[in-house]
Amino acid sequence: METYLLDWANLLLRWVHVIVAIAWIGSSFYFVFLDSSLTPPVDEQLKKEGVSGELWAVHGGGFYHPVKFAVAPPKLPEHLHWFYWESYSTWLSGFALFLVSYLWSPSVYLIDPNVFDWSPAAAIASALAFLIVFWLLYDAICRKLGDRDNGDAKVGALVLVLVCVAAWLATQLFAGRAAFLLVGAMIATAMSANVFFWIIPGQRTVVADLKAGRPVDPIHGKRGKQRSVHNTYFTLPVLFAMLSNHYSFTYAHEHNWLVLIAMMFAGAAIRQFFVMRHGYKLGRNRHPWPYAAVGVVALVALIVWLRPAPADTAEATAGAGPVSMAQVQTIMDQRCVMCHGAALQSKNVRLDSPAAIRQHAMTVYQQVVVTRQMPMNNATGITETERAQIAQWFKDGARLD
């Protein structure tokens, strides 16, 4: 029953997490587009009011005319919309999902003895430390260099090094699947912390100054924008890390930390293309196609590098002849029933009888042969020959005889 309830918690939390993440990423992408697409105001009255940019847009049958004030509007409106619950909800639901999916069963999901054999308590503490320590180091870099000349470039270079080191270290300590997710969660934590510790407090300070009639310090807007820009470049790398658990050929590779870094680099480069594309359309910068090209080249290089090696003779022979249900059931009994039997029934799937194996034949084929996600971290030691036998049985029609 516990496993069944955990599966429901996983499903519902994942559903909520995706919904609020869409809201956060969508608003983030929109405001980056808006900020990059603003043009100087034409109307003299807008100029007198301190408007630094405006945009005309059409959507949903109506016309919109957003404007941006350089520092603050001359008077605060009665209703001011804040963008922060999208970020907080994404982090809270994501952390709850991480707790249910990984921290609840660290021996299964976090720890791979072939990578690093340690206690569940130590693995959990180290995983949580990744989230905290990365934020502290990233924030220290931004505090130290963010306000200096050419500070953005220096911050970007140091954060890149920091992410690379974290990616390498995570893959040396945790199971590959968990390591990829942990690096994504680490960066996502920094993104939400940027909102919580910098962007929103800065905006609250500006609002308080306006209400009190005090002059507004533009540094709050500058720092808030810096952290917001960092967040937009973090987005695609984080999304890959969150999706990677479905693709074992990435996190199960011998040099998985290089795969993770390359995918994140490709995502950041492609995001740069979309960010600069808005400025190009207004004649502010050259066409940013080189960034997209670099990202695509990195992806193509990974596709070539990670291509599967030709099957050896033993594996090819194992899949050449017919495979009986008795052979498949033997494999299930040795490799799968401990998690998918009468006692546990993980994911509400049982594989302890021929009828049950055939009922879940498609799932078995996908999880064991295609994605190779199961057994988790190959804890039961399934062999390539056994995977090939399952594949042959399925391709022959998943017969009961």
- Domain 313-395 in this protein, CATH class: mainly alpha
Domain ranges within the chain, ordered by starting residue: 87-305, 313-395
Are the beta carbons of 54 and 67 closer than 8 angstroms? Answer: yes
Q: Is the confidence at residue 126, as pLDDT, over 90?
A: yes
pLDDT at residue number 252: 86
First to last CA, the chain: 33
pTM of the model: 0.85
Round the average pLDDT of the chain to a whole number and report it.
Answer: 90
Question: Does the pLDDT of residue 313 top 50, yes or no?
Answer: no
3-state secondary structure 202-251: HHHHHHHHHHHCCCCCCHHHHHHHHHHHHHHHHHHHHHHHHHHHHCHHHH
Confidence class for position 257, pLDDT limits 50, 70, 90: very high
What is the C-alpha separation between 274 and 32, in angstroms, rounded?
Answer: 10
Mean pLDDT of 169-198: 96
Check whether 120 has a pLDDT greater than 60.
yes
68 or 370, greater pLDDT: 68
Alpha helix segments (H runs only) across 38-65: 44-48
Q: Name which residue leads in pLDDT, 290 or 147.
A: 290
pLDDT digits (tens, 9 = 90+) for 10-22: 889 999 999 999 9
pLDDT tens-digit map of 34-53? 999 999 999 999 998 899 99
Mean pLDDT in residue range 237-259: 91
User: What integer pLDDT is reported at residue 321 of this predicted model?
Assistant: 76
* Neighbouring C-beta atoms of residue 313, cutoff 10 Å: 8
Mean pLDDT of 361-379: 83
CA distance 160 to 212: 41
What is the arithmetic mean of pLDDT over 98-113? 89
Residue of 285, 284, 287 lying closest to 39 (CA atoms): 284
